[in-house]
Amino acid sequence: MKELTYVQALNEALREEMQRDERVFLIGEDIGPYWEGAFKVTKGLANEFGVERVIDTPISESCIVGAAVGAAMTGMRPVAEIMFGDLLALAMDQIINQAAKIHYMFGGQLKVPLVVRAPFGIGRSMAAHHSQSLEALFMHIPGLKIAVPSTAYDAKGLLKTAIRDDDPVMFFEHKICYPTKSLIPEEEYLIRFGEADVKREGDDLTLVATSWMVHKALKVADQLADNGIDIEIIDPRTLVPLDKETILQSVKKTGRLLIVEEDCKTCGVGAEISAIVAEEAIDYLESPIIRIAEPDTPIPFSPILENYVIPNEEAIIKGVEKILS
Amino acid sequence: MSVDIPSTSGIEGKTLIHLFEKMLEIRRFEEKVWDLFGRNLIPGTLHLYIGEEATAVGVCVNLRVDDYITSTHRGHGHCIAKEARLEPMMAELLGKKTGYCKGKGGSMHVADASVGILGATAVVGSGIPIAVGAGLSCKMRKTDQVVACFFGDGASNNGTFHESLNMAAIWKLPIVFVCENNLYAMGTRISNVTAIDNIAQRAIAYGMPGVTVDGNDAVAVFQAARGAVERARKGEGPTLLECQTYRHKGHSRFDPATYRPQEEVEEWMKRDPIVRLRKKLTEEQILSEEEAGEIDKRIIDEVEAAAGFALGSSYPELEEALEDVFVRAR
């Protein structure tokens, strides 16, 4: 085992997959030898594989994703980097109307084995255009798979799976998670999509969280364990496909569901999970579901305001207390 | 039929006959489609290519079976020119299980991966970046395949046009960007939304050659496209080829096109690309009138057979609506 950061783990996944399969290539803004990615995820890769396979592009998000779609349709396995998740808005036609629909609308004749990587999330005072959590938008589009790793270990295993997957995958990397570390096995491993990870076992309440919120939830769970509260934390790891079974089994065991999500509350990830539990396990619930999410506002700049909208430990504790009362 | 006689254009007679046959195939196919639509046998809408046949055919006759095209909402002509088969095309338009896309695509989304038709996309301008990706793929795989990217004058004002032509030029990708300038984006006249005379003038801004041709002259399109395809195949980079043409019908099946001046319509009708090539072929004695008539009759029979096939085919099973969302069942 070795200790790697989330960034290093992603970098290792890209390197291994590029070594394994010459069809894999990277395309994006400033990912090449001069900058090596805005967050250094592509560090060293242009030098190792050449600028023909680690392609710096003009600032043209629509064509970055579109070119990756076209390359994927014709035998390549591109990994596109969009520098910030917010900028996916510039490439929405290629993601929503093309990548997601090509396999279906052409009757299965063509496939789009594409990964779109995007750093996302709040917590660095980067304001309204560099902080959003948009993953729920993509959950609404049939044909896209969505990965949201919370740890370096998950990031590596999920990215390798994403690259080998024959469908388009939206891969959301949290900026706050980038420096976090995991123990990574020396040997190769993959993490299957649609398999949630129970980050902590417990009997009193089921807490579903993704990405950075998993870390916050774990902190709260450790703290509350001293008070005799035993929280089970489930990290779905992929939102599409979603491991409903693990969530439902846990809710059936604990009878309580708290969701901690970083996106806006309305039509967010938690809304979908709540609806699934309401449809399939409502009889097991001993108290109403609680969602702790960001309010329905753009992300403010000033740290004092930004901290206010981020679901924090205090809010999670209050949620736990309420659901158990 | 005198296929060995070189025409005055220097193109072999058999090539000219092939251009004529493919254009006629598109025309007769679409006339049949128009008829079936009028009888409520084709659902949805239709964007007919009638009048623009010389453009698709003049370009695609220069392509190999393993070359790629990207197509648009007005795509029947591109697909037939790139050797799509009439039976699964017609079946697709009728929403049948035997269609190219098993009835999931329809008129605006025909694809045939086996002959390099990467599919018609119906968001204006959306196919241009995809063509860039196909060109990038050809270059990375070190093949000498070429991509022909069809789009209209309307798409040339979309941001994807700028992003894509720039990217293709900096990487010298093997692409021919074929702008079918039929003067109208729906009802909007090109001169109202573009301050230059010819779309091909934009090529200079990207550092690629720009060529404007009479898109109703199959020979002119064929010759211009031949140069652009050769250039792409040799690794010398993309070309913007503007073909000025005109649709005989409205934008879609329901559009009477009253926004076009009558004199303009009449002027363009006189320049029907099929009539022009047929006249050339007979005048130069490459085809007799009788032979041209026989070709037409054979094509009409093929189109009728395709319609019969499509009408006789079954609709998809209802469960098929749920299939092909993902490549593998989750």
- Tell me: do A273 and A163 sit in the same domain: no
Q: Are strands A169-174 and A238-240 parallel, antiparallel or unpaired?
A: unpaired
Closest Cβ–Cβ partner in B100, B141, B164 for A63: B164
- Tell me: do A140 and A211 sit in the same domain: no
pLDDT computed for residue A156 by the predictor: 98
Model ipTM? 0.96
What's the pLDDT band for B329 if we cut at 50, 70, 90? low
Chains A, B: CB contacts within 8 A come to: 148
Q: Tell me if chain A has a CB within 8 Å of the CB of B301.
A: no
Give the domain-ending residue among A184, A213, A238: A184
Residues of chain A with pLDDT under 70: none
Give the domain-ending residue among A162, A184, A206: A184
Tally of domains within chain A: 2
Q: Do B134 and A70 touch (CB under 8 A)?
A: yes
Residues of B in Cβ contact (< 8 Å) with A79: none
- Tell me: do A159 and A260 sit in the same domain: no
Beta strands in chain A, from DSSP E residues, in sequence order: 2-5, 24-28, 54-56, 77-81, 115-120, 145-147, 169-174, 181-184, 197-200, 205-209, 231-235, 238-240, 257-264, 290-294
pLDDT at position B172 over 60: yes
Parent domain of A273:
197-324
pLDDT single digits (tens) B4-38: 555 567 899 999 999 999 999 999 999 999 999 99
To the nearest whole angstrom, how far is the Cα of A56 from the nearest Cα of chain B?
Answer: 11
Cβ atoms of B251 and B184 within 8 Å: the answer is yes
Of the residues A103, A129, A130, A140, only one is catalytic, namely: A130
To the nearest whole angstrom, how far is the Cα of A219 from the nearest Cα of chain B?
Answer: 33
pLDDT at position B1 over 60: no
pLDDT computed for residue B328 by the predictor: 76
Residues of B in Cβ contact (< 8 Å) with A106: 100-101, 104-105, 109, 111, 113, 119
CA dihedral of residues A189, A195, A199, A205 (deg, nearest 10): -170
- Tell me: do A171 and A203 sit in the same domain: no
Parent domain of B87:
13-315
Q: Are strands B188-189 and B184-185 parallel, antiparallel or unpaired?
A: antiparallel
Residues of B in Cβ contact (< 8 Å) with A67: 129-130, 132-133, 136, 164, 167
> Does B327 fall in a domain?
no
- Tell me: do A122 and A73 sit in the same domain: yes
- Tell me: do A209 and A296 sit in the same domain: yes
Tally of domains within chain B: 1
Sign of CA dihedral B270, B275, B280, B283: negative
The Cα A270–Cα A248 span in angstroms is 14
pLDDT single digits (tens) A108-129: 999 999 999 999 999 999 999 9
Cβ atoms of B213 and B273 within 8 Å: the answer is no
pLDDT single digits (tens) B71-99: 999 999 999 999 999 999 999 999 999 99
Other C-beta atoms closer than 10 Å to the C-beta of B266 total 9
What's the pLDDT band for B254 if we cut at 50, 70, 90? confident
CATH number for position A216: 3.40.50.920
- Tell me: do A259 and A176 sit in the same domain: no
pLDDT computed for residue A107 by the predictor: 97
What's the pLDDT band for B330 if we cut at 50, 70, 90? very low
pLDDT single digits (tens) B93-129: 999 999 999 999 999 999 999 999 999 999 999 999 9
User: Side-chain half-sphere of A106: how many Cα atoms within 13 Å?
Assistant: 27
To the nearest whole angstrom, how far is the Cα of A241 from the nearest Cα of chain B?
Answer: 7
Closest Cβ–Cβ partner in B102, B132, B323 for A67: B132
